Each structure stands twice: as C-alpha cells, then as structure tokens.
Structure 1
Amino acid sequence: MWLAPDQEQIDKLSAALDARRSDSFGIIARTQIVSGEDIGAVAERVFQYSEVGVDGICLAGVNDPEQLELISKASSKPKMLINYGRKNTLTEEMYSRFNIKLLLNGHSPFESSIVATYHALSELSGRTPSDNELHYKSLIGRYTEERWFDSSLKRYLRIFG
C-alpha cells in the first residue's frame, strides 16, 4: 500500500479548498492505516489535514475504539469510516463520541446501485443490455474513461510505473 507524502496531500487539499466555489460543497480528506503503521502516524496525518481546513475526515481500515479515540483527540472534524466488510463493533455512544457521521461497509452497495441504474435506464430506453454490459468494472471503466485516467496517473503522478 502506498500513500502520498503528507505534504503532497496537504497541498492537494489546500488546492481543493482554494478551488471550492461554494461552502455547501464539502472537502473530505481521506487516509488509511498502512499495514504495520503506528496509529500515532495516522493521528498526526489527520491532525495536519484538519489544520488545512477540510470539512471532514474519511478513514479506511480504522475500526478499533482505541485507535478512534486517539484520532478523535487529533481532530474533532466529522468522520466517515470505511470498514470494507469487517464486523462493526462500534456502539451508538462511540459514534457520537468520535463524531462518526457515516459508515461505509465496502463499496458493493454503491457498485450494485450503478449496475441497477444502468440496467433500468437501458430498459427505459427500449434496449436490453447484454450480460457483458452489466458488470460494475466495465461500466465504470467505460464512463470514467479509465484508460485516459490511468495514463494521466502514470504521466503526472508517476503512479503505476
């Protein structure tokens, strides 16, 4: 797992905040625990992102109450957790204490909704989509111009070789 250097991420978050045209558009900083990483490093990252002025923090792979306690001391910003299908052991009281506003249990509900929407819109237009069309990865790849996006990542961010 690779994370952008802290300063690079801070610069990107600052640019997003500068580009924002409406305060009703939220800027959420996302980070995660890298395997073997000390939770103190995650808390420090969260603190730095909060100091930039983001509206919230998204945390992937963090679901332990002790970890959340430390992170919450670093930032009082609203939090979104992504637990990738792990069992949720947090209580209502913990949600309140750690200012957790959203729990995303993996991406499968979102992916399924994209496929269902595509299927419904295809049928409404009088066309029955083939089984090959009804796969999330192929749909999202086609409509997000995945090849162009991946080549841009390689060219500008030097990600993926």
Structure 2
Amino acid sequence: MNPRRPAPGELLKQAIAERRGIVVAGAANALAARVIEQLGFEAVYLSGAGITNTFYGMPDLGYITLGDLAQHTAAVRDAVELPIIVDADTGFGNELNVRHTVRTLERAGANAIQLEDQVMPKKCGHFDDKSVITAADAASKIKAAVDARHSENFLIIARTDACAVEGFEAAIDRARLFIEAGADMTFVEAPTSIDELRQIPQALSVPQLVNVVIGGKTPTLDAAEYARMGFSIVLYANAALQGALLGMTKALTHLRESGRLDEDSGLVATFAQRQRVVGKPS
C-alpha cells in the first residue's frame, strides 16, 4: 500500500516550520504558476500586484476585487499541485469582510493567505505615502481570519507595513500583536537595512517571510543568507512578471524592427515548449 501523499497545505506548513529560507516565486496567472511548478519550486505565491498589472494593466493600488482573486486562485489550483499562498491585500474590508475572504479563498484552493494592515485601498509595500490602520484593528482582523478558516493547515500570514509609517520598532510590536491574535507567520514589509533584517526572526516567535522586491527598498541577499538569519520564506513575488515583461519587450521590439520573428531567434519559447508547459500531449 502506497503511503498517503501529504496535502499541499501540510507540505507548506512543514516547510515553513523548518525555517530554511525556501525561495517562493510569485505568479500573476496559471501559466506562470505552471512554469514555477515545472522548475521545481516548493510553493507558488499568487501576487496581487501581478494580477493587477497583468489583468488590468494598472498599478498595485488596490484595484482588484475578491472575485478577481478567487477566480485566479481557482485557476492556479486547477493548474498546479503546489501549495498556493494568496496575497489577499487588506481582506477587502473589516472583520466580516475578512471572514468572507478567508472562506472564499480557502474554497478556491488557497493554502495560505497574506493579510496586511494598510488602509484600504492599499498600495504596493515598496511605494511611498502608505497609511496603516490601528494596531488593535489590524490584530482584530487577523483574529477574524484565524477563526474563519476550516483547516488548521490553512495558514494566516500577517503582514505589517508600519516600518515606513511608524518605524521599525512599531512594526515589530504590531507583528507581536498579530502573533497573539493567532497568525501562523508574520511578514514585516520593507525593512531597509541588513541590521533590521537580522533582527526580525530574532524578535518574533513564529516563522518569518522576507519580501525581495527587485528594485525595491529591502536589501537583496542570497537566499542562503536570509536562511541563516532565520527566515522561513524568501519571496520573489514578481520576478516572473518582470522577466516576462522584459522578454515581451525584447521579442516585440525585434519583430517591429525586423518584420520577422523565428523560433531560432533566442527571443521566444518554441511552439513545442509552449505546448509542453500547458500540458498538451505530443
């Protein structure tokens, strides 16, 4: 008799508990999620910024809805077997909205969601001029999320954007409140120095996530260095999107300038590669 394969949520929970700095790549859609899975990553992060940029062609300023997010989550769940972490922004409102968000995304196939303490509508964590709700209100929303989940393997990741608004120590204090409210993991967004990065896993009792925004405010280090600091997840939420944007620009610039684009140009995946990613038999 074959042993039972652990469910995606169990795999994610175990990987986070090990605190070994797993690199998690973000996807904006199911196609990107398939690429991430086929390259051997252990989990996929469904990026709110990525969905907003690709679905609407707009900046990450709180434009997407829960319906948009649930639709993309379900599509990714159908496309891959990896654990899925979903960026649920502010939870789309107050505690009642957060409860609905958790139930909706858990049914859609998410294994973890990230909730943040920004004023709604939120902004990208590496934009300026952010605002946060009170620490007590944010903790209440985290408790509502914890209480709403059905499975104990559905993880609540609590993010604070208070570094840029109230300072680093205030952000750590908020993360502690979120842990008291039941968060399985916390995420102090946009620390700006290596010293601050080192302090985060030491100061907080639950596993930690570091968000590496390419071109953003947080220092970029090797994943092994983040792991030595004690981080559980090293998130590259939009590396695939930024790579795809550069690739599209190069391929289409060549097409516009030359009037021709072939498989041997080195600028595009081959027809066979494209079909293989989406699972079409030969």
TM-score, normalised on structure 1?
0.58
Q: For structure 1, list consecutive stretches of 5 or more residues without a partner in the other structure.
A: 113-119, 125-161
Distance 1:110 1:23, change over 3 A: farther
* Aligned-residue RMSD, C-alpha: 2.8
Partner of 2:203 in structure 1?
Answer: 74
Q: Secondary structure at the match of 1:11?
A: helix
Superposed, 1:119-134 pairs within 5 Å as none
Partner of 1:14 in structure 2?
Answer: 143
Partner of 1:101 in structure 2?
Answer: 232
- Decide which of 59, 77, 89 is 2:221's aligned counterpart: 89
Deviation digits for residues 20-78 of structure 1, max 9, x if unmatched? 11111001101124436421111111111112121101232126332133322331211
- Decide which of 158, 170, 173 is 1:44's aligned counterpart: 173
Partner of 2:193 in structure 1?
Answer: 64
Alpha-carbon separation, structure 2, partners of 1:28 and 1:43:
15
- Kindly tell me the number of residue pairs found equivalent between the two proteins: 114
* C-alpha contact 1:85 1:106 (8 A) present in aligned 2: no
* C-alpha contact 2:139 2:178 (8 A) present in aligned 1: yes
Distance 1:110 1:52, change over 3 A: farther
Alpha-carbon separation, structure 1, partners of 2:236 and 2:192:
11
- Are 2:162 and 1:30 aligned? no
Q: Which amino acid aligns with 2:138?
A: Q
Relative contact order higher in (CA < 8 Å, ≥ 6 apart): 2
Q: Secondary structure at the match of 2:141?
A: helix
TM-score, normalised on structure 2?
0.35
Q: CA deviation at 1:97?
A: 3.4
Q: CA deviation at 1:11?
A: 0.5
Q: CA deviation at 1:94?
A: 4.2
Q: Which amino acid aligns with 2:140?
A: D
Alpha-carbon separation, structure 2, partners of 1:22 and 1:10:
20
Larger helix proportion, structure 1 or 2? Answer: 1
Alpha-carbon separation, structure 1, partners of 2:208 and 2:223:
15
Partner of 2:53 in structure 1?
Answer: none
Deviation digits for residues 86-115 of structure 1, max 9, x if unmatched? 4512562542332x1222234252685xxx
Alpha-carbon separation, structure 2, partners of 1:93 and 1:82:
14
Distance 1:51 1:90, change over 3 A: farther
Q: Secondary structure at the match of 2:171?
A: helix
* C-alpha contact 1:32 1:62 (8 A) present in aligned 2: no
Q: For structure 2, list consecutive stretches of 5 or more residues without a partner in the other structure.
A: 1-129, 245-273
Q: Which amino acid aligns with 1:28?
A: I
Percent identical pairs in the alignment equals 23
* C-alpha contact 2:201 2:207 (8 A) present in aligned 1: no
Q: Secondary structure at the match of 2:155?
A: coil
Distance 1:108 1:42, change over 3 A: same
Q: CA deviation at 1:85?
A: 0.8
